Structures are given as C-alpha cells and as structure tokens.
Structure 1
Amino acid sequence: MQSALVARTVAVPAEVAADLIALLPADAPVSWVRRGEGLVGWGVSATLRTTGPTRFTDAAKWWAELVARSTVTDEVGEPGTGLVAFGSFAFADDASVDSVLTVPAVVVGRRGAVAWVTTIGDVLPREWLPERALPAVAPQGVTYADGALDSEQWMSAVAEAVARIEAGALEKVVLARDLVATAESPIDVRWPLAQLASAYPMCWTFHVDGLFGATPELLVRRERGLVTSRVLAGTIRRTGDETRDDELAGALSRSSKDLEEHEYAVRSVADALEPHCSSMNVPEAPFVLHLPNVMHLATDVTGVVHDGITSLELAAALHPSAAVGGTPRDRAVALIDELEQMSRDRYAAPVGWMDAAGDGEWGIALRSALLSGDTVRLFAGCGVVGSSDPAAELAESQAKLVPVRDALGG
C-alpha cells in the first residue's frame, strides 16, 4: 500500500510561472500546458502502473484511497491545486501495455494571474525551485523509418476498411500508422515539449512517462460540476495562403464525408456522457478549428455532471470515442486490431491530470509520440468512412505527423 502523502499548496507570483515548460528539470518531468497556462511537475512521490481492462477502475480506486489517507494544505483552492496526479492510459485492453498514474514531488500551476506551487513530503513550499539543470539540446542526426506498415501497405488497409464499411460491417473506423525516429544519442523530452508549446499554443502540450505531444482534442474537462468535451473529426491540411485556407475551411464545413465522420464522433461522445449528466448541450453544427498545420471540424459538448463522478471516470466512459475508434465501437476496435498490425500503446487514449476533488482535464493523446532513449515512435490516425480515399487519408496522416517531426527537428 502506498504510504500517506503530505501536500502543501501556496501561491507564488505569476511571473515565476510565466514559462511553465522552461521550469522543468530532467527529473521525471510531466506537463499539461495550453496558452502558457496549466500544470507542470517533476520528481515522483507515488506511482501506480496497471494493465488490462480494469486499468481505469484500478487507477480510480488507487487514487481515491491515496487521497483519503493523505493530508493536504491548500492556500489557493483552484482546480489543479492540492494533491494532483498525472495519468496516461493504454488504448486497448492489452495486458502488455502499462497505464500509469503518477504524483509528482513538485507541481507548478498557473491560471490567468493566479500561480501556485504544490510540494509533497520533504520538499518545502519555499524551496521548490529545481536546481538549474543543463538546458535541453536539439536531437542530432534524426533518421526516420517505416513502422508496422509502409505507405502502400497502410493505404491497402484503408481500402480494406472502406470495403468493410460499404459491405455494412460498420459505419466508421479510425486507422492509425506509426513512424520510427532514431537520434544519435538519447533525446531530452524537454526539447520537443518546448518546441510544441511554442508552435501549437492552442493545443495541450503534454508529457507523462515517455508519452509526449500537443493534442488539439480535449476528451473531457470536469470543473466544479461542469463537464466539457471537445470533439474533432474531419481534417484538411493548411496551405499557408490565408485566402486559400479560408476557401478550404469552407469546403471542409460542407464536405459530406467529413460531416459524416464528425457526426459519428459527436454522437458517440454525447451518448457516453449522457448517463453521467443531469443536462447537456450538443451544438447542431460544428465550427472549424484552425491550427498551424491543419484545420478540423470541431464541436464542444457540455453538461452538468452528477455529484461524485470524477474526471477520470468520465474519461473512462468516453474511451474510445468514435474520433479515435469508430462506430459501432466494438466492431471498429476489432477491425483496428486486425488491420493496423501494431500496438497503439498509449496513443489515442486518455492523457491528463486529476486533483483530489475529482476535477481535471483529460485529452486524447494525438499528435503524439513515445520516447525511449534515442528512439521515438510517432503516431497519426485518420477517420475512414465509406467515401474515404486511401491516398487522401495517407496525406492527412502525413500532415498529422508534422508537429512531432518538426519538434524533433526533422
């Protein structure tokens, strides 16, 4: 049994947390940052690793018991203050892939003009600043190789998925591919994190236990009884020409293929949240979310959550949504396992944080990669429906690999 923790949260000047990513030392860094706000942490006070179909319930139980035993002094009282855990979960019920929930020794947060630091155990609140570590350096000599499938093989998998959909086996499936990058020496994750946070400020830049990225998709936020889920499905690559991109955004908003894909994703989120909410708002039409490299159809689903339902429980109920799995869910997940010929590991699964009150933010681990030493495994996926074209889906997947490739310098 994990021993009880003693956590203390105090306010600090906002300028101290002006650049959260820059604060990170090399000691087990974690991050969840958007537009300069959010949470970062380092060191390890407690960790749970779990596998298989009970990974979410195992984590929720462990966290509830740890919170009940621990002592928290919180002088700030914002979501994300007090005792906080960062988590990253396996996509599938695969017993060989770890899901992790970790409690850092130090957490620094900022929301608007309010900033704070939480320390656990022997680290005192006034002594939280890390020793100045050597700055992260850019990876050198990065080379790329195909992952489980090369481009032609992956397009064949997409074509097979289209055939299954046209035969009536299912309505939509999301197929992913991987790419393997290798550097000349071990990569310091703080380098790509800083690049991603700078280049994609509207995304959530995250890192937990080797999984890092900048996701545009908020699976669920729970904050003082209110729940929000941002659904993205339907994508088009930007050209860099403002006039042309406006034309493409208009085309995206009228595309029957993309609107069909988006409708499946929104419906799956609304259906999963409804049992846990007393009221909900589901917009009738999506908006176009503009990111530096792509544009997405997006819908924000909101609701009032029942008392006692935590953000992690909501994330578990939502996973996998049609945006990363397909419709119907079970058939789509089975087809993913058949056609992708790889393990997604923790790609396209919940990643984020939760506090002792159950508030938290969980994104879908997209635009992401797994780092191990000098090797990075990049992932990208595309929603496939009956009207999908394999070559177009390949181009979309290549666009989705751009953020991490650029962050690695290649």
Structure 2
Amino acid sequence: MNARFDLTTPGYRLRTRGVAQRIHPERWDGTSVAAAVEAALAAANGKTREGKKPIVVGLVPFDANAKAVFYIPEEVDFSTDRSVASLPNDEQSNVFEVHGAESPSYRENVTEALKRIQSGALDKVVLARSVTVDSSSPIDIDAVYARLCARNGSAYVYRADLPDGLEQSSSVLLGASPELVLSCDQGKIRSTPLAGSTPRAANAIADEEVARALLNSKKDLAEHSLVVQAVGETFRQFADMVDVPGEPQLVQTPVIWHLGTYITGMLRANVSPIALAYALHPTPAVGGWPQAAARETIAELEDFDRGFYAGLIGWMDEDGNGEWVLTLRCGIVNGSKATVFAGAGIVAGSDPETEHTETRTKLQTFINALG
C-alpha cells in the first residue's frame, strides 16, 4: 500500500506518499523516540528518493507510552497552496445512519466525574465518547478531506493511513484540529492550548454574546488556566525566553468558540522538539489534572479505547523544524463505516447536559464532512 499522509495548515500543505523507512525506537518514550528519529534522519543522507530534504511524519496515540507510528516517507511535497482537489458534487445517493448521537451514559459519566471533582480527587477530566456512522456505500475519503479543508480554513486538517500497517490496512484517520501542540521553526517554539469552549450561535449578534460570555466565564477561565499552567511549566523545562500571556484569546471554528493562549519560547540547544512534544502530551486539554487521577478516571468511565484519538500527528525535518497537532474533530473511516470522536472538559460547575451538547456540536465537524 502506498501510505498517504496529508496535513493542510493555515500556512502550507504537506503531502507525503510511501514509506522509505519505518522507525522503531527501543522504547516508546520521548527520549528514545527522539533519538531514533534523529538517527534515521541523519542516515537518510540529506535527501529522499526524489532528492528532497527528508522528513519524519508521525502519529502518537493518546496513551503516549503506547506504540506510535514514525516513518520517513518516500515522496514529500510542501506547498503554500492550501487548495485541494475540487469539492465533490454533494448531490449523492449515499444515506448515512448515525448511531449513538444521544448518550445517556455520557451524561452519567459526567455526573460521576463531578462527584470525584467535588471530593477533591481531581480538578479536571476530559471525557470523550464515540459514535458510529454507517453509509449506504463506501465513504469517499478524498471527498471528506476536501470538505474538511474547505470548511475549516483556520484548522490543521489531516489524513493518515493507520497501522497495522501502512502496508495493508484500509482504515484512515481524518480530522480538522483547532489545536497546535508544538511548532518549531529554527528553534522558536509555539503552542496554542485550547480549553474552555461553547457552541457558536446562529446569528452574528447572539454569536458575539456567547463569545463574550465565554471570555468572562469563571468556570471556563479556571479550566483554561490549568492547561496553560501545565504547558508553560513544561516549556520552561526545555526552553528559554518562555512567554505565557496572562489572559486567553478567543479562537473560533465554524461551530465552536474556544479560549486559547499563544505560548512561545526558544528551544535550548541539543533539545529535540519530539522530546518536548512527548513531555507535553497528553496535555490537560485532552486528559485532565492531576494527570494520573484524570487518566484513571478516563480508563474507568470511557467505554472505548481512544487509540489515536486525542493523540498527536505531525512532522519534523533534520533541523528540528516541524509541527505537531492534536488529533481532534476526527474520525476513522473503513469502507462504509466511520467512527467519530469528541470530548469535553469537566470541571467544577460543569453541567452534564451542557457537556453532552458540546460533544454533539464537536461531532458535527466530521459528520457534516461525510456528505
């Protein structure tokens, strides 16, 4: 199988094909993965089969200690042209059936999480759920990717063939992530953690009101500060000149308002961006805080394995330049079936019905792109 990896960002489009070299670190931790990646890039002799500068692309699960996927592609194409193939004609005969859009068990999980928060066991936990979508005919992957790109211009839109193997599996991960975990450009690093959100309103006046309410919400500001503090502290372990703004900004997607903070710094010499990415992941934006208690709660309450949902996807070149984003607003497509994921951050003051509604809104980013 000619493995495909695509990442369309606000500033460029990356497209790779094939696998020149799979990367197998001794252990699945930041230090080991970074060493294996750097060794593979050094051994690539500075060029791909096409004579271009080699890069590594990667896909890391939510569980950072689980087996990830890293490889050097055979073909690499960067372009500042974000356009993809023409949008398909949406006058199609496919019929889609969504299973699990309403989830009483999710509301119950939120209620249980709130009890644990009130008891002092944890401050925040991100609870996710999944739905399945059955199509009357095979889902057109290229069409889904094109729609995600067209409708989410400020997002990081991605597509990656999933293992087992990049050689034989027909499962494909696609999504439109609003969240940049780590960008590195000549040593300058940046992260844009998002936490605290609300669905957008249908008309401009109401939409402005809900955005303003989010920016002044004590609950959402408290949730956001947990994430920003964790990312800032991790940055300081690896970088100098770290700047963490004191207040968040509004970040919009077509369906959701988020609170976001733009954190920057300068990576120290001889520090791998991949080691930093692993140290950051999973942030409280997709896990919770304290991390151990949040992961335990997720394992107990969620009825599915997150796998590559809420993980990392991205790339890096031999100079350390690259970007890594969270695999959010995503689904896994296999033939005529799609599994779609979404989550919400639960903190003191959260409401089970409101959080359920938020996940439904987030699910629509991917479901609407199916056709």
Partner of 1:142: 96
- Looking at structure 2, the residues matched to 89 and 37 of structure 1 have their Cα atoms a distance apart, in angstroms, of 22
Q: What per-residue deviation string (whole Å, max 9, x for no partner) do you get for residues 320-339 of structure 1?
A: 11101111111111111111
Cα displacement (A) at 1:68: 1.9
What is the percentage of aligned positions where both structures have the same residue? Answer: 33
Q: Unpaired segments of 5 or more residues in structure 2?
A: 162-171
Decide whether aligned partners of structure 1 residues 50 and 404 sit closer, same or farther in structure 2, where only a CA change above 3 A counts.
farther
- Which residues of 2 match residues 235-384 of structure 1 at below 5 A? 235-384=197-346
* Contact persistence 2:132–2:340 (CA under 8 A): yes
Decide whether aligned partners of structure 1 residues 146 and 287 sit closer, same or farther in structure 2, where only a CA change above 3 A counts.
same
Partner of 1:181: 133
Decide whether aligned partners of structure 1 residues 384 and 57 sit closer, same or farther in structure 2, where only a CA change above 3 A counts.
same
Q: What per-residue deviation string (whole Å, max 9, x for no partner) do you get for residues 248-283 of structure 1?
A: 111000111111110111111111111001220000
Partner of 1:106: 75
Cα displacement (A) at 1:93: 5.4
- Looking at structure 1, the residues matched to 282 and 3 of structure 2 have their Cα atoms a distance apart, in angstroms, of 28
Cα displacement (A) at 1:136: 10
- Looking at structure 2, the residues matched to 258 and 270 of structure 1 have their Cα atoms a distance apart, in angstroms, of 18
Cα displacement (A) at 1:28: 2.5
2:331 partner SS: strand
Is residue 135 of structure 2 the alignment partner of residue 192 of structure 1?
no
- Which residues of 2 match residues 122-137 of structure 1 at below 5 A? none
- Which residues of 2 match residues 1-20 of structure 1 at below 5 A? none
- Looking at structure 1, the residues matched to 140 and 46 of structure 2 have their Cα atoms a distance apart, in angstroms, of 32
Cα displacement (A) at 1:87: 0.9
2:283 partner SS: coil
Q: What per-residue deviation string (whole Å, max 9, x for no partner) do you get for residues 64-112 of structure 1?
A: 22112122259xxxxxx711122111111575xx421132222111248
Task: Return the match for 2:60 from 89, 104, 109.
Answer: 89
User: 1:64 is aligned with what amino acid?
Assistant: E
Partner of 2:164: none
Q: What per-residue deviation string (whole Å, max 9, x for no partner) do you get for residues 37-69 of structure 1?
A: 231122222234679x72544532332221121
Q: RCO (CA 8 Å, sep 6+): is it higher in 1 or 2?
A: 2
- After superposing on structure 2, the runs of 4+ consecutive aligned residues of structure 1 that deviate more than 4 Å are 55-58, 135-139
Q: Unpaired segments of 5 or more residues in structure 1?
A: 1-25, 75-80, 114-131
Partner of 1:60: 34
Cα displacement (A) at 1:27: 4.0
* Contact persistence 1:49–1:99 (CA under 8 A): no
User: 2:40 is aligned with what amino acid?
Assistant: L
So what's the TM-score if we normalise by structure 1?
0.81
* Contact persistence 1:222–1:310 (CA under 8 A): no
So what's the TM-score if we normalise by structure 2?
0.89
How many residue pairs match? The answer is 353
Partner of 1:169: 121
Is residue 34 of structure 2 the alignment partner of residue 69 of structure 1?
no
* Contact persistence 1:311–1:361 (CA under 8 A): no
- Looking at structure 2, the residues matched to 312 and 184 of structure 1 have their Cα atoms a distance apart, in angstroms, of 41
- Which residues of 2 match residues 385-404 of structure 1 at below 5 A? 385-404=347-366
Q: What per-residue deviation string (whole Å, max 9, x for no partner) do you get for residues 163-222 of structure 1?
A: 100010011110000111122344342221110000001000011222210100000101
Decide whether aligned partners of structure 1 residues 61 and 376 sit closer, same or farther in structure 2, where only a CA change above 3 A counts.
farther
* Contact persistence 1:282–1:301 (CA under 8 A): yes
- Looking at structure 1, the residues matched to 140 and 25 of structure 2 have their Cα atoms a distance apart, in angstroms, of 26
Decide whether aligned partners of structure 1 residues 402 and 49 sit closer, same or farther in structure 2, where only a CA change above 3 A counts.
farther
User: 1:220 is aligned with what amino acid?
Assistant: L
The alignment's C-alpha RMSD in Å is 2.4
* Contact persistence 2:139–2:370 (CA under 8 A): no
User: 1:183 is aligned with what amino acid?
Assistant: S
User: 1:62 is aligned with what amino acid?
Assistant: A
Is residue 19 of structure 2 the alignment partner of residue 44 of structure 1?
yes
